[in-house]
Amino acid sequence: MKNTMCKLSGLTAGLMVCTLALCSTGCQSWIGGQTLPSPHYLTDDIQYFPKGPEFRLTNTVRQHEEYRLQQEAIEAGLTE
What's the pLDDT score for residue 8? Answer: 60
What's the pLDDT score for residue 35? Answer: 82
Write the single-letter amino acid at 80: E
Question: What is the distance in angstroms between the CA of the first residue and the CA of the last residue of the chain?
Answer: 100
* pLDDT digits (tens), the chain, 80 positions: 566 656 667 778 777 776 766 665 556 667 788 888 777 777 877 788 888 778 889 899 999 999 999 999 999 986 55
What's the pLDDT score for residue 68? Answer: 97
Write the single-letter amino acid at 52: G
Residue pair 40/26 in contact by the 8 Å Cβ criterion:
yes
The model carries a pTM of 0.33
Residue 23's closest CA among 36, 43, 39?
39
The C-alpha atoms of residue 18 and residue 12 are separated, in whole angstroms, by 10
What would you report as the CA-atom Rg of the chain, rounded to the nearest whole angstrom?
Answer: 33
